[in-house]
Structure 1
Amino acid sequence: MNHLIIAPIILPALTAAFLILALRGHVRSQRTVSIVATVVLLAFDIGLLVLTATEGPQVYRLGDWPVPYGIVLVLDQLSATMLVLTGALALAVVIYASAGSDRRGRLFHPLFQFQLLGINGSFLTGDIFNLFVFFEVMLIASYGLMVHGGGAGRLKAGFHYVAINLVASTMFLIAVGLIYGSTGTLNMADLAVRVQQIGSTDPGFLKAGALLLFAVFATKAALVPLHWWLPATYASTSAPAAAIFMMLTKVGAYAILRVYGMIFGADAGALALVASPYVLPAAVVTVLFGTLGVIGSRTLKAVAAFAVVASMGTLLIALGLFDNVGVAAALYYMVHSTLAGAALFLIAGMVVEGRPHTLDRLEPDMAMRAEKLVASLFFIAALAMVGLPPLSGFIGKVMILDATRGVPSWALLWTVILCTSLVLTYGLTRAGTTLFWSSAPPPDKWPEPRPKLFQPVLAVSLLVSMMVAWTLAAGPATAWLESTAHQALDRSGYVETVLGQKPIRPAKED
């Protein structure tokens, strides 16, 4: 076993504990430790990506207990890609927060590290119950980050966020109980074998558990009608918290792919593709709802939040195909939309700091400091979020359109994606012109204290640079993601990697 596999879980856990026990109340020291730890984490993530590219999927058995009885972590191309995306986003966010937003409440950096612990664990776990455990770690940390800094609006949105996630967690446990009661296992590889062996006469409880679990993942991924928590939550919290929350929806999408593309995939017998009939219709409605929300929003954070909902719908249109081409397109667009959405939230935070009277409300106000620079960053982020050329969003949407060509409803899907892209262009253009083109002349002397710009500009520039790099590397990135999609949907390969045996295909029933 390669002990490096557990580093993305152990490092944030030890860092968070050290920040609480040794540096509590020392924000500057916490910043330094948190940034260094995040850089090291990203280096580990890249190392794991190289490891899985050169040596193939890896399994880590905690305590060296035999599978499926012990806790197991599984590293493959999909989980490694998501780890690198998380680490890269986390670095930009922690740099942004070091400008001063981490001082507006207690324990930002420990909560941030615990958030990374939950996210990374969700990507690495090979067990559905431990997926629940890491979900809870991730969500508990997000509760603290959500209300960081206080305020009536933030507390109200935080209450709703906690309530919906408590319901989802309860549903998760019920689903886990139904699945375990039907199969006697929760290890994903072992579950993939046993699901296939269940005859068509006895899938009732297992199907109920599978669909209930899908509702939980759909809630995390903000699929309509389970999306309503996201706009209020993301628009009410601080900019760095909203930016790192971009990974929460991606964990939901990842779980849908892992469970319903592999365990309940095309080879799952009586329960093959059990969630497939629900993903595409819900994804289409999600795109439409998110787009309408952008048009109706009155603040830049709300615009960004509804744009994220629309992007999740677009992503899940491709992911819901559950084939190699669709999943590869979804993964390419997932990386892009995560970076673009995070950039929009961080820019919204800069607007809030630069306009103390109107904040990020879509109303004309006095020009901000470095307004041309902020406006330029907004233009690039908005261009990326809409999916216009030449950035990676355009490539991602073209890949999604190409992936849906063989679907019977391709004409509807193309119409929805193209028309909503046009409406999103209008919505983000309206927001940009109101904030940056309609502002009054700046004052002769800027009031003190002036908001810090270096770290926020650096953080957003990092995200923009990543999007540009993702665009330039579209060729090799697409080849990698096509291989990743094939591996993610390969039930036999996953089972053989984890259990060390090839699954036996059951005989067909008469």
Structure 2
Amino acid sequence: MNHWIVLPVLLPALLGSVLVLIGRRDPVIARTLSVASCAALLALVVSLLATASTEAPQVYALGDWPAPFGIVLVLDRLAALMLVLANLLALLVLLSAIGGADRERQHFHALWQFQVMGINGAFLTGDFFNLFVFFEILLIASYGLMVHGGGRERLRAGVQYVVVNLVGSTLFLLAVGLIYSVTGTLNMADLASRVPEVAAGDRALLHTGALLLLLVFALKAALVPVHFWLPGTYAHAPAAVAALFAIMTKVGAYAIIRLFTLAFGDDAGASSWLAAPWLLPAAMLTLLAGMTGVLGAQSLAQLAGFSVIGSMGTLLMAVALFTEEALSAALYYLLHSTLAAAALFLLVGMIAQRRGGAGDRLRIAPPVAQAPLLGALFFIAAIAVCGMPPLSGFIGKLLILDSARESVSASWIWGLILGTSLLAVIGFSRAGSLVFWKSTAQAEAQDAEGGGAAEDEGAAPPARGGALPLVATSALLAGLVGLTVFAGPVSEWLDDTAAQVHEPAQYVDAVLGAAAGNE
């Protein structure tokens, strides 16, 4: 048994508890411990990724209780990939928050560690009840981070966020209750073994529970029609927190992939690919709604929030095809969209700080401080989010289009991806023009006439956090460049990951043993 598997959950849980006690007394120590923990976690999960790349899925049984009776954590290629992405994001965004967002509340770093704990646990857990537990940890910690710094609008958005997620939690409990009443288990591997054996008379209850879980995971992933909470929540959250939330929607996507390929995949008999008829139309509408929102956004934060919704639609369209090729393409796009969204939210925060009273509103205002640098970074991020060449967004969309060629919905998928990419280009062009080009041009014209500032918004205040936000944002954008340069090797690795996901016998054998896997 690989005891290292439990550390991505255990380390942030212990450190978060320590930071609750000492964070209020010494912020420097809190920052040091928090950064050290995130750096150690990143090194750990990279080593777990290397292990998962060469070995079969590995299991850690808490208390040495065997599955399906005990709590198990399972490490396979997919879980390891998500762990590396989440912890890389947590470290870079935390660096951006130091000296800025973390000053506003004394328990910021404790909440950050509990958030990381919940994310890591959601990717590692081997049963659905503990997935519910980690979702609740995510909810509590993310709400604390969401309302960090106070303010009426932020509090209002936070209350909506909590209410929506509490409804989702209620549906989650109802769903797992229905599934347990039919199968007698919530262990993912055991469920995969029992679903094909469910009697025909009980299948309606099983399908109801599974589709309720799909609705819950769709809520986490901001899928239409339960996407409405995301733009306001992300737009009003601190920039660093919104950047970390870029991985939150991917938790929902991960749960959809895990459930409907493991327990409701090819081997599920009459329940095979239960989600497919529902997931694909919802993903298409999500892509359309997200990119339409980008076109009509009134602020940069709204622009970034709607772009996340659009990217989730693109990602889940590929997932909904439920083929190895499409899943590999979806995972590549998942990596790209997470890094791009996080970089965009950090950029929005820096731009808002440097525009005086205009903030992130899409209107002509005094020129942005450090406009050439921030404009260049925004241009790179816009290219990435829109899926324009030569960055990884273009490659990811190309892979998804290629994987959809044999689908009966190929024409719809191609038309939506290409058409909404044009909407995104228009929306981001409008935003960049208003924030950078038109504001600068108007200021230069007024200077030439001897006038004042372009607007009465006031001079931009000095940026908080020093150079760290720029460093973190640049590192995220550099990650997109690396994903582009090494697209070939990354895609090959993801092909093997998709093949492992679509071969659930490996997962079942690792958790229950070879005998259970051969039943």
The answer to whether the superposition gives a TM-score over 0.5 is: yes
What displacement does 1:106 show? 3.3
Q: Paired residue for 1:172? A: 172
What displacement does 1:99 show? 3.1
Q: Paired residue for 1:248? A: 248
Q: Paired residue for 1:229? A: 229
Q: Paired residue for 1:454? A: 467
Cα 1:448–1:228 change in 2 (3 A) is closer
Secondary structure of the corresponding residue to residue 200 of structure 2: coil
Q: Paired residue for 2:498? A: 485
What displacement does 1:318 show? 0.3
Contact 1:354 1:451 in 2 (8 A): no
What displacement does 1:502 show? 5.0
Q: Paired residue for 1:355? A: 355
Contact 2:22 2:30 in 1 (8 A): no
Contact 1:198 1:270 in 2 (8 A): no
Q: Paired residue for 1:117? A: 117
Q: Paired residue for 1:378? A: 378
Q: Paired residue for 2:486? A: 473
Contact 1:384 1:392 in 2 (8 A): yes
5+ residue gaps in structure 2?
Answer: 445-451
Q: Identify the range of structure 1 (447-456 vs 460-469) with the bigger mean alpha-carbon deviation.
A: 447-456
What displacement does 1:437 show? 0.8
Deviations 1:178-213 (A, max 9, x none): 111111111100110000111334312111111111
**Off by >3 Å, runs of 4+ in structure 1:** 440-453, 502-506
Matched, 1:342 2:342: yes
2:508 to 491, 495, 508: 495
Q: Paired residue for 1:131? A: 131
Contact 2:356 2:459 in 1 (8 A): no
Cα 1:486–1:158 change in 2 (3 A) is same
Measured in 1, the distance between the counterparts of 2:328 and 2:366 equals 45
Q: Paired residue for 2:282? A: 282
What displacement does 1:297 show? 0.8
Secondary structure of the corresponding residue to residue 438 of structure 1: helix
What displacement does 1:492 show? 1.3
Q: Paired residue for 1:419? A: 419
Q: Give, as a single letter, the amino acid of the residue that structure 2 aligns with 1:393.
A: G
Measured in 1, the distance between the counterparts of 2:199 and 2:107 equals 51
Q: Paired residue for 2:33? A: 33
Q: Paired residue for 1:258? A: 258
Matched, 1:58 2:58: yes
Percent of aligned positions that are identical: 52
What displacement does 1:244 show? 0.6
Q: Identify the range of structure 1 (54-63 vs 456-465) with the bigger mean alpha-carbon deviation.
A: 54-63
What displacement does 1:419 show? 0.6
Q: Give, as a single letter, the amino acid of the residue that structure 2 aligns with 1:58.
A: Q
Matched, 1:86 2:99: no
Q: Paired residue for 1:330? A: 330
Q: Paired residue for 2:270? A: 270
Deviations 1:54-87 (A, max 9, x none): 2221100001011111000000000000000001
Q: Give, as a single letter, the amino acid of the residue that structure 2 aligns with 1:362.
A: L
Measured in 2, the distance between the counterparts of 1:341 and 1:389 equals 17
Q: Paired residue for 1:72? A: 72
Contact 2:19 2:109 in 1 (8 A): yes
Matched, 1:309 2:322: no
Secondary structure of the corresponding residue to residue 186 of structure 1: coil
Cα 1:450–1:122 change in 2 (3 A) is closer
Cα 1:207–1:436 change in 2 (3 A) is same
TM-score, length of structure 1 as denominator length? 0.97
What displacement does 1:452 show? 4.2
Matched, 1:210 2:219: no
Q: Identify the range of structure 1 (223-232 vs 484-493) with the bigger mean alpha-carbon deviation.
A: 484-493
Contact 1:99 1:456 in 2 (8 A): no
What displacement does 1:489 show? 1.9
Contact 2:175 2:209 in 1 (8 A): yes
Cα 1:501–1:448 change in 2 (3 A) is closer
Matched, 1:13 2:26: no
5+ residue gaps in structure 1?
Answer: none
What displacement does 1:394 show? 0.6
What displacement does 1:450 show? 4.7
Contact 1:492 1:502 in 2 (8 A): no
Secondary structure of the corresponding residue to residue 514 of structure 2: coil
Q: Let me know the Cα RMSD of the aligned residues.
A: 1.6
Deviations 1:251-299 (A, max 9, x none): 0000000001111112101211111100110000000000111111110
Secondary structure of the corresponding residue to residue 83 of structure 1: helix
Secondary structure of the corresponding residue to residue 266 of structure 2: coil
Deviations 1:442-488 (A, max 9, x none): 99997765544401100101101111111111111101111111111
